[in-house]
Each structure stands twice: as structure tokens, then as C-alpha cells.
């Protein structure tokens, strides 16, 4: 690809030379015309030097005219190359700018797609019905068990105290809870967002899950066959796999 600035400099150099050549052509033509006028006013024997001078100037004039036309044509062609080169460079820059803009839009599209997928997942989470509570129960060492119900927001576990109107949902007195360090208001179990959770209610002897003592009032997830200690009373949490209801869209 030609270098436009260098070509432009060459064009300027040729134009300057063409100006010089044009001046020389004008001078030659004036000399020829002057000789012709002088010949008309001279006797025949004195005309010969001027006639020979004009004859000598004619090939010089033709050579200069041919050179002048050639240079003019060269300037025109070189200027076309410069103009086309500048146009090509401008188009390259235009393509580069569009490419940069395209890359930016592609990044925006990718970001928008990610956001769309996230929104669709959020919508799915909102519109899908919550999972049905898994069947769960507390199994005691003697083999007895108490089924847990997810119908209530929270199942309170402790010791029944009628005098103080403390009636837990799960009374551990029947399992010797009073002698095993169980408090009247000991713990609670609830089914939250598809997960069974247990929480110690600031009991005297504490609640542990798999030997990990719980912080009071901090919900802790229960897993199948988890070993729970209410004070010294040990039970096993057992559950079946949770199920999710399926929403059927009826035809309109």
C-alpha cells in the first residue's frame, strides 16, 4: 500500500516542477512568436537566422510540451492513489470503530443474557410450588417415635407444665425428659423453605446435633439420621425424601 504522505510530497514536488516547465514553455512560445514577427519585417536574406532559430526551437517545444502533459497525467494518477489510500484508511478506521462497538454490544448482550437467565430462574423459584414437607419423625432409644407435622410454623419441644400454662407440641415427659435434663421450653423444630430446622430455646442443659451444641435461638438444619440431644435425652431424626408438587397448566 502506498504511503499517502510521501506521495503527497512527491505530488507537490512535481507541481512545482510543472510550474517551472510552464514558464519555460511560455518563454519558448514567446521566442518563436517574436521571431515570426521579426521575420515579416526583414528582407529575405536576413530572415534565415531567425527561421533556423525557430526550427531549432520546435523540437524543444514539442519535448517540453510532451513532458508537461506527462507530468500533468502523473500528478493526476498519483493524486488518485493518494485519495484512494486516504479513503481506504478512513474505511479501515470505520471498520475498527464498528468492530469496537460490536464487541461492546456483544458484551452487553452477554451480560443481558446472564441477567435474563437469572431473572427466569428467580421467576421459576417464585412460581413453582414449594416442596411438600418430607415425612419426618423423632425416634427414641426405646423404639417409640413421634411424627413431626409441618402444618404448624413451629413445633415446641419441652415438658408439659399445666400450672404455668406451658403446653409443648412435643412433651418429652413421657420419655423421662424431666430426669434427663430437658427444660420445660427446651427447643423447637420447624419446616422452612423445604428444610427441617431445629433451634434451641435457651434451655438449661442445651441442645446438640451430632455432638455439636447449638447456639440459643440460632436455627440449625437437620439431616436424615441426625443424632439430637435434648439435655441428656437422645433421639434420632429420621425423614423420607421430600417431594415437590407439580403444577399442571390447564388448557384455556
Looking at the domain assignment, is residue 251 inside a domain?
no
Task: Note whether 238 and 139 are within 8 A (CB).
Answer: yes
pLDDT at residue 124, rounded to an integer: 84
Residue finishing a domain among 81, 104, 126 = 126
* Band of residue 244 on the pLDDT scale cut at 50, 70, 90: very low
Asked if 32 and 100 sit in the same domain, the reply is yes
pLDDT at residue 117, rounded to an integer: 94
> For residue 165, is pLDDT > 80?
yes
Give the domain range for residue 216.
Answer: 132-241
* Band of residue 142 on the pLDDT scale cut at 50, 70, 90: confident
Look up residue 131 and give its three cell numbers. 416442596
Q: At what angle do helices 44-127 and 4-40 cross, to 10 degrees?
A: 160
Asked if 78 and 152 sit in the same domain, the reply is no
Looking at the domain assignment, is residue 59 inside a domain?
yes
Alpha carbons 36 and 39: distance in angstroms, whole number:
5
Asked if 207 and 122 sit in the same domain, the reply is no
Average pLDDT, the chain: 90
Residue finishing a domain among 79, 110, 126 = 126
Asked if 137 and 224 sit in the same domain, the reply is yes
Sign of CA dihedral 50, 52, 58, 64: negative
Sign of CA dihedral 43, 46, 52, 54: negative
Look up residue 130 and give its three cell numbers. 414449594
pLDDT at residue 132, rounded to an integer: 65
Looking at the domain assignment, is residue 39 inside a domain?
yes
Dump pLDDT digits (tens) for 188-226.
999 988 899 999 999 999 999 999 999 999 999 999 999
Dump pLDDT digits (tens) for 69-108.
999 999 999 999 999 999 999 999 999 999 999 999 999 9
Task: Note whether 182 and 138 are within 8 A (CB).
Answer: no
Looking at the domain assignment, is residue 32 inside a domain?
yes
| Residue 161: CATH number of its domain | 2.60.200.20
* Band of residue 127 on the pLDDT scale cut at 50, 70, 90: confident
Q: How many domains does the chain have?
A: 2
Asked if 184 and 201 sit in the same domain, the reply is yes
Task: Note whether 68 and 25 are within 8 A (CB).
Answer: yes
Residue finishing a domain among 109, 126, 143 = 126
Q: Record the pTM.
A: 0.47
Asked if 68 and 92 sit in the same domain, the reply is yes
Look up residue 5 and give its three cell numbers. 504522505
Asked if 119 and 139 sit in the same domain, the reply is no
Which position has the higher pLDDT, 136 or 243?
136
Asked if 83 and 103 sit in the same domain, the reply is yes
Asked if 157 and 211 sit in the same domain, the reply is yes
In the block, cell 452487553 appears at: 108
Amino acid at each position: 500500500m502506498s504511503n499517502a504522505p510521501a506521495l503527497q510530497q512527491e505530488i507537490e514536488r512535481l507541481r512545482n516542477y510543472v510550474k517551472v516547465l510552464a514558464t519555460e514553455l511560455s518563454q519558448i512560445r514567446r521566442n518563436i512568436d517574436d521571431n515570426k514577427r521579426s521575420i515579416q519585417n526583414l528582407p529575405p536574406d536576413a530572415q534565415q537566422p531567425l527561421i533556423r532559430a525557430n526550427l531549432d526551437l520546435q523540437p524543444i517545444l514539442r519535448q517540453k510540451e510532451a513532458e508537461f502533459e506527462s507530468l500533468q497525467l502523473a500528478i493526476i494518477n498519483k493524486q488518485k492513489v493518494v485519495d484512494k489510500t486516504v479513503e481506504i484508511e478512513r474505511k479501515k478506521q470505520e471498520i475498527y470503530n464498528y468492530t469496537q462497538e460490536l464487541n461492546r454490544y456483544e458484551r452487553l448482550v452477554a451480560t443481558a443474557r446472564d441477567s435474563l437467565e437469572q431473572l427466569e430462574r428467580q421467576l421459576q423459584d417464585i412460581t413453582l410450588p414449594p416442596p411438600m414437607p418430607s415425612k419426618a419423625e423423632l425416634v427414641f432409644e426405646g423404639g417409640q417415635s413421634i411424627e413431626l407435622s409441618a402444618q404448624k410454623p413451629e413445633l415446641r419441644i419441652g415438658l408439659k407444665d399445666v400450672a404455668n400454662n406451658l403446653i409443648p407440641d412435643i412433651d418429652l415427659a413421657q420419655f423421662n425428659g424431666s430426669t434427663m435434663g430437658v427444660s420445660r421450653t427446651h427447643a423447637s423444630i420447624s419446616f422452612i423453605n423445604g428444610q427441617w430446622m431445629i433451634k434451641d430455646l435457651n434451655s438449661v442443659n442445651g441442645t446438640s446435633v451430632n455432638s455439636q451444641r447449638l447456639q440459643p435461638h440460632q436455627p440449625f438444619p437437620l439431616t436424615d439420621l441426625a443424632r439430637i440431644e435434648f439435655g441428656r435425652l437422645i433421639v434420632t431424626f429420621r425423614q423420607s425424601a421430600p417431594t415437590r408438587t407439580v403444577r399442571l397448566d390447564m388448557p384455556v
